[in-house]
Structure 1
Amino acid sequence: MIFRPAVSALLGTLLVALSLALPASADSLRVQPKAVVELFTSQGCSSCPPADALLTSLSERGDVLALAYHVDYWDYVGWKDTFGSPAYSDRQRAYAQSWGSSRIYTPQMVVNGAIGVVGSRRNEVNGAIDRAQLPLDVAVTQDRNMLKVSIPADTALNDAVVWLVTYINRADVDIAEGNNAGKSMVYTQVVTGRQALGLWESNSGASLKLPIPEMLADTSNGIAVIVQQEHNGLPGPILGAAAFER
């Protein structure tokens, strides 16, 4: 009995030392998801918060790569979306055009570049994900400050574009004006940039090395690599994807 206080104190000291020795956060990889879910949303859209919350829950699934594209066409209602971009509105319009439609709306979730559903309809979203499949295995490994990407050949598929998408895994925003005035919102998987890395050729595959510090030079802490087909310059089905998060 007389030794317990001393043992407790020693354990406490060891736990403190261990916690100081461990890194504050660890890098993580997400490979072989069955679905890439793109949410088109806006801080100025009154019906978007349920979809934003749903995307947060989807981002916690190991088989889903979730991304939020904030559009800018709601800015006119009195609140400028802090992450909104005309490029993301154009991406949503391109999806609509590829499906033979001129209508866009928020919240909308696009699953694997192939199907669009109302982003707040949980059952429809989950149903689309359950039926989803990505045929191409995008392998991603970390080697210190480099991200190695390997995409195998697959002659059963057509050539596609390799995209680099950076994102913030969480952002807290106090909305002062517009349809959501007074709300404190938590946004996840917020896209901050998107650029083409090159062409994946189905008969030869592709191998890339990405310098992580340069890719995450701003406030972003996530990198997604997405292989997506195009038809006449419009987005088509997503074939494969992987992600790195710091």
Structure 2
Amino acid sequence: MRYIILPAMVAATAFAGFMGAQIAQSSSGASAQVTTPAASNGAKNFGDETVSPNPGSNPVVVELFTSQGCSSCPPADMLASRLAKDSALLVISRPVTYWDRLGWKDTLAREDNTRLQRTYASKGKAGSGVYTPQMVVNGGGGAVGSREGDIRSLVRLAKNDTGPVIETNRADNGDVTVTIKGKSRYMAGVSLLALSSSETVQVGRGENGGRKLHYTNVVKSERNLGSWDGTSMRVKLSSTDLSVAGADKYAIIVQRPGAGTIVGAKLLDI
């Protein structure tokens, strides 16, 4: 596996990720490496609606930064699939773009995913850096994406029952009302993520050339719904909002500004 040094603009953050990531064993026993390729430049009644309560804590959000061009990533992709079966977790796959120049353009990659990973890396938290595979837990600490023990340790630390309560209701016309309730002195952004629960890609070239790869809960689009100020907030989503091409799941994410801590999340029951 080759290692390629990132340019100066991301060298500091990439170095942190690189030094913290060496050849690792995935939970299935397959060897996995962290790889840093060349970076690219750059419940109530409201009128005729009934909202069902969703008591309990928010799921812990696990974001996987991965790439079809990274031969160390498939074990992490497989781990993401296993973790997604845990209802206490919301696993999100975010394929990045900076491997595209090395022989294969990732068919699922989004530049927004790359920017988000770089923003996380700039905060210098444990496991930070610009590398693949990487999992970031609740917008905080990260680890090599194939190291299940490390990921589960981060999940245990991230569990929090103090976040907002997110409730949803689907009306007869297909519209969905999202209600966010709680008390807080901080602001947080509210986003709607459109996800594809399962994607299979036949890779033609690059380090994974000839392999068929599988992905879980891949981001197809994300949209800002506004800001939650620690009081009750309601947002209506139309059937059009929930008809993104290629998506079959939708999630609400409540996250502090500047890619800060994720304080609330819910997979919509629609």
Q: Scaled by the length of structure 2, what TM-score is found?
A: 0.74
Q: Given the alignment, which residue of 213, 238, 241 partners 2:262?
A: 238
Residue 189 of structure 2 corresponds to: 161
Q: Is the 8 A contact 1:32 1:242 kept in 2?
A: no
Residues 1-246 of structure 1: pairs in structure 2 closer than 5 A: 32-99=57-124, 103-134=129-160, 135-144=163-172, 145-155=174-184, 157-202=185-230, 204-230=231-257, 234-244=258-268
Shift of 1:136: 2.1
In structure 2, what is the Cα distance between the partners aligned to 1:64 and 1:141?
21
Q: Is the 8 A contact 1:32 1:138 kept in 2?
A: no
Q: Which amino acid aligns with 2:265?
A: A
- Residues 42 and 196 of structure 1: is their aligned pair in 2 closer, same or farther, counting only changes over 3 Å? same
In structure 1, what is the Cα distance between the partners aligned to 2:91 and 2:121?
20
Q: Is the 8 A contact 2:253 2:264 kept in 1?
A: yes
In structure 2, what is the Cα distance between the partners aligned to 1:196 and 1:130?
28
In structure 2, what is the Cα distance between the partners aligned to 1:245 and 1:178?
38
Shift of 1:126: 1.1
In structure 2, what is the Cα distance between the partners aligned to 1:212 and 1:239?
26
Relative contact order (alpha carbons < 8 A, sep ≥ 6): 1 or 2 greater? 1
SS in 2 for 1:45: coil
- Residues 166 and 236 of structure 1: is their aligned pair in 2 closer, same or farther, counting only changes over 3 Å? same
Mean CA deviation greater in 35-44 or 134-143: 134-143
Shift of 1:59: 1.0
In structure 2, what is the Cα distance between the partners aligned to 1:245 and 1:76?
38
Unaligned runs of 5+ in 2: 1-53
Shift of 1:34: 3.2
Q: Is the 8 A contact 1:39 1:109 kept in 2?
A: yes
Q: Is the 8 A contact 2:168 2:269 kept in 1?
A: no
Taking only the aligned residue pairs, the percentage that are identical comes to: 35
SS in 1 for 2:129: coil
Q: Is the 8 A contact 2:121 2:130 kept in 1?
A: yes
* Equivalent residue pairs, number: 213
In structure 2, what is the Cα distance between the partners aligned to 1:58 and 1:33?
16
In structure 1, what is the Cα distance between the partners aligned to 2:124 and 2:92?
21
Q: Give the number of the structure whose residues are more often strand, by fraction.
A: 1
SS in 1 for 2:226: strand
Shift of 1:32: 4.4
Shift of 1:103: 3.3
Q: Which amino acid aligns with 2:264?
A: G
Q: Is the 8 A contact 1:140 1:243 kept in 2?
A: no
SS in 1 for 2:131: coil
- Residues 216 and 207 of structure 1: is their aligned pair in 2 closer, same or farther, counting only changes over 3 Å? same
In structure 2, what is the Cα distance between the partners aligned to 1:98 and 1:139?
31
Shift of 1:117: 1.1
In structure 2, what is the Cα distance between the partners aligned to 1:136 and 1:245?
17
Unaligned runs of 5+ in 1: 1-28
C-alpha RMSD of the superposition: 2.1
Residue 19 of structure 1 corresponds to: none
